[in-house]
Amino acid sequence: MHFLDQAPPFLFFTGKGGVGKTSLACASAIHLAAQGKRVLLVSTDPASNVGQVFGTEIGNRITAIDSVAGLSALEIDPQAAAQQYRDRIITPLRGVLPDAEVNSLTEQLSGACTTEIAAFDEFTALLTDAALQRQYQHIVFDTAPTGHTIRLLQLPGAWSGFLQAGKGDASCLGPLAGLDKQRSQYQAAVAALADGSRTRLILVARPQPATLREVARTQGELAALGLQQQYLVLNGVLPQQAVGDDPLARALWQREQAALAAMPEPLQALPRDLLPLLPFNLVGVAALQALLQPAGSTPAGATVAAPVPPPAPDLASLVDELARDGHGLIMLMGKGGVGKTTLAAAVAVELASRGHAVHLTTSDPAAHLAETVAGALPTLQLSRIDPQAETARYREQVLASKGMHLDAAGRAMLEEDLRSPCTEEIAVFQAFSRIIRSAGRQFVVMDTAPTGHTLLLLDATGAYHREVARQMGSKGLHFTTPMMQLQDPVQTKVLLVTLAETTPVLEAANLQADLRRAGIEPWAWLINNSLALARPQSPLLQQRAGNELAQIELVARQHARRWAIVPLQAEEPVGVARLQRLARH
């Protein structure tokens, strides 16, 4: 394995949810420990199951793994770290500032950026603790900090006053106010990350276009910050020998090979390893050891059995219910790589085929709605919002207003403020708002919607919704803002898209909690690309399908009020006919 050759002290595994970061980090730690090295495995993943993988309760303390000599593990709970971080900032302000300001600050500290920064605050000590590094020859991190977090930590420590003075806009930068370590320690940690002799970054991806595009963006962003020691691991590649006579397996293999052949150019230059798709869950030392074996052999005791898929509603049955209203806003939300664009197109085609007027729109820069629909329906309109253009327009607007009277340093800070991830979501939401207004007379199906945190942040900062409410309410006039429309279950239906895998289901559940805080109740869940419903003949895929059943049960019984499941398709779901087939089991 190239990514473990002459491994430096720090190994970071990063990638989209569900690509196998945790399994690969655990397997790598076992591999290094088997060479006689002393290894510390650290997880900062919100969906961490390192303890479950080893059958040992770990938690936020260094714990020896009895089944692997030389290996210890530590789970940094990012949610607990974020809560402690929020408490440290907010508690001294209660009773001092008005409740409205405290609530606004609380919301600014409730997003993903706070969790990232709080987790980095915790494991900075691991990168700079000389005594710990003498004790362990390797520290393996499951989940690396993003380029956004690293860039923030490189900035001057003057954010608190800048934001409190109202010079910044709705952003993710508020969390920086709570960093409690010395800036010199952060600088040392960032220097360790950029030092190729000490740190190696392992980019983990599946052989799928969406995950490869995402990991290429990560590669470029981190390389620009000085993290040049990068390796690529393509995980879960379907072996050709597992295809056999299964038409589904052959179609999947061909699709993966095409994705690998069309891999983004920056990734092609990286040292690369391919790991085969395995039929079993990666729990236990034997299974993890098999992950890094060239043949990916099944550990003793593993069996193959065709799963019995559960009775499950299809997408078309949900669309029947949606169609009864005759119009409205339908938003598909979920993490990247779960298939939101395809399912948005399928929903739109189903509605249009019933004779309804439908406007299908996306802000996904990688989405190609016209190619996905690949056909015409008389009542279907397509549009795409360009996130870069909308964000540039929004930045210019803020710089022209709030930046007009700032000095050079203040303007530089404002420009960095406007480079935060929330800025793009807010800018795109403004563009979406123009389209939302048309949902009173037709269906608007929206792919790639803003997160619950961003919606709350918009409301908390008193932007559009509160200003309209103040002006119109004082005149006794009836009014509806986009935020009010999103919170109205009659006007807006939110569909959460996930896969029948542990991490994507957990991420969708977290998104649901975020939306509920914003007063938005998801209408239904969509489980996409289910192997269990596709009924594969390949023994390997049959066992993979069996692993889905527990996650399908979790969605159906615990998370969703309504739900539907979409089978994995042998053919790419492109074109009106295939999209309609996708909607029906």
**Which residues, 6 or more positions from 445, have their beta carbon under 8 angstroms from its beta carbon?**
330, 332, 344, 347, 348, 351, 358, 359, 360, 361
Read off the DSSP letter of residue 559: I
Say which amino acid occupies 94: R
Read off the DSSP letter of residue 140: E
Strand order in the sheet with 230-237: 63-64, 71-75, 39-43, 138-142, 10-14, 199-205, 230-237, 272-276
Give me the residue label for tokens 């007063």: 519
| Cβ contact 526:315 at 8 Å | yes
**Which residues, 6 or more positions from 361, have their beta carbon under 8 angstroms from its beta carbon?**
369, 382, 383, 384, 385, 432, 435, 444, 445, 446, 447
Please work out, in degrees rounded to the nearest 5, the angle formed at the alpha carbon of residue 244 by the alpha carbons of 238 and 245. Answer: 125
Q: Is residue 100 within a helix (H) or strand (E), and if so which, with residue range?
A: helix 99-108
Q: Is residue 523 within a helix (H) or strand (E), and if so which, with residue range?
A: none
Euclidean distance between the first and final Cα of the chain, in Å?
41
Query: What tokens were used for 391?
Result: 């964000």
| Four-point Cα dihedral 195, 200, 201, 205, nearest 10 | 160
Measured CA to CA, the distance from residue 123 to residue 236 in angstroms comes to 29
Measured CA to CA, the distance from residue 233 to residue 202 in angstroms comes to 7
Choose among 377, 346, 376, 345: nearest CA to 361: 345
Q: Is 355 exposed, middle or buried (0-12, 13-18, 19+ CB in 10 A)?
A: exposed
Measured CA to CA, the distance from residue 212 to residue 234 in angstroms comes to 9
Whole-angstrom CA distances from 358 to 84, 90, 329, 438, 575 are 46, 45, 10, 10, 16
| Cβ contact 527:334 at 8 Å | no
What is the distance, to the nearest Å, from the Cα of residue 79 to the centroid of all Cα atoms in its chain?
16
Catalytic site residues?
A: 18, 20-23, 45, 503
Measured CA to CA, the distance from residue 94 to residue 58 in angstroms comes to 34
Query: What tokens were used for 41?
Result: 């495995």
Say which amino acid occupies 247: P
Q: What is the sign of the dihedral through the CA atoms of 143, 337, 547 and 549?
A: positive
- What is the Cα Rg of the chain in Å? 24
Choose among 501, 427, 505, 514: nearest CA to 115: 514
